Amino acid sequence: MRTPVILLNFKAYPEAMGPKAVALAKVAVEVSDRMGASIVVAPAATDIARVAHEVRIPVFAQHVDAVEAGARTGWVPPEAATAAGAAGTLLNHSERKVPRKDLEDLIPRCSALGLEVVACAGNLREAESIAGLSPEFIAIEPPELIGGGVSVTKAKPEIVSGAVERIHRANPKVDVLCGAGVKTGRDVSRAIELGAVGVLLATGVVKAKDPRKALTDLAKGLR
Ligand code: G3P
């Protein structure tokens, strides 16, 4: 995905399910076109295909399972996400943690399928450890700030700059995103000043009274 970037995670919010997922993704396309901003959307698994069919910005899965394709009822292997039109996937989000052995399996498999991986880490030690697995991106997101009113770039700027330093020291090929409480263009520009190449966010847009207005303000921070 083109950086700097805003990755909008729809999570399992009712405001972004089914037809509302398509509507929100179309708002992201409009803001992306108008602002020249790189915006990626991550709808629920059940909405990947319908969103990817409707929009031309990258669509990411929120998770994929470390199982082979085949007799795996109810599981979503990376091949299924690719077939649905996903360009990438989050992995190990603090709301959907993944065992280390699954990360070791999934990251190379996703890479071989052309699925970009944004591996999430809740702290610096985890971020540094995941860097050795060479995902394209690592997103540092302190769980206690997720969904809250204060951006990680304001509450814990040192965890963003620290993640950039330690991840790049462990693996210069990995780019860093940050997330948790990011809601304004200033939060986004601050993230970039701290060395991140983008942000992961959800409530600031999905739960906004006016998602288009909120996303437009956030996109100004990419400039
Ligand atoms: O995936 C990003 C998400 O965890 C951040 O959530 O609601 O703090 O923007 P939020």
Domain ranges of the chain: 5-220
Buried b (16+ CB within 10 A) or exposed e, 41-75: bbbbbebbbbbbeebebbbbbbbbbbbeeeeeeee
Look up tokens 């009113």; give the residue.
149
Ligand 1 center–CA 134 separation, angstroms? 23
β-pair partners for 198: 5
Q: 9: helix, coil or strand?
A: strand
How high is the mean pLDDT of the chain?
98
Pocket flag, ligand 1, residue 146 (CB < 6 Å) = yes
Pocket flag, ligand 1, residue 120 (CB < 6 Å) = no
- Residue 80 pLDDT grade (very low, low, confident, very high; cuts 50, 70, 90): very high
**Peptide bond before 4: cis, by omega within 30 degrees of 0?**
yes
Residue 175 CA from chain centroid, whole number:
12
- Residue 91 pLDDT grade (very low, low, confident, very high; cuts 50, 70, 90): very high
Q: Using CA atoms, how far apart are residues 140 and 168, in angstroms rounded to an integer?
A: 13
Pocket flag, ligand 1, residue 201 (CB < 6 Å) = yes
- Residue 84 pLDDT grade (very low, low, confident, very high; cuts 50, 70, 90): very high
Ligand 1 center–CA 70 separation, angstroms? 32
The atom of ligand 1 lying closest to the CA of 204 is 9
User: Residue length, the chain?
Assistant: 223
The tokens for 24 are 């929100």
- Residue 43 pLDDT grade (very low, low, confident, very high; cuts 50, 70, 90): very high
Task: Assess contact for 146 and 117: CB atoms under 8 A.
Answer: no
Q: Using CA atoms, how far apart are residues 57 and 107, in angstroms rounded to an integer?
A: 22
Ligand 1 center–CA 119 separation, angstroms? 14
The atom of ligand 1 lying closest to the CA of 94 is 4
Encoded amino acid at 181, one letter: G
Q: Which of 13, 89, 145, 200 to mutate to test the pocket of ligand 1 (most atoms within 8 A of CB)?
A: 200
The atom of ligand 1 lying closest to the CA of 120 is 1
Indicate which residues carry an active-site annotation: 93, 141
Host H or E run for residue 200: strand 198-201
Pocket flag, ligand 1, residue 9 (CB < 6 Å) = yes
- Residue 121 pLDDT grade (very low, low, confident, very high; cuts 50, 70, 90): very high
Mean pLDDT to the nearest integer, 108-119? 98
Tell me which fold the domain 5-220 belongs to.
Answer: TIM Barrel (3.20.20)
Ligand 1 center–CA 71 separation, angstroms? 33
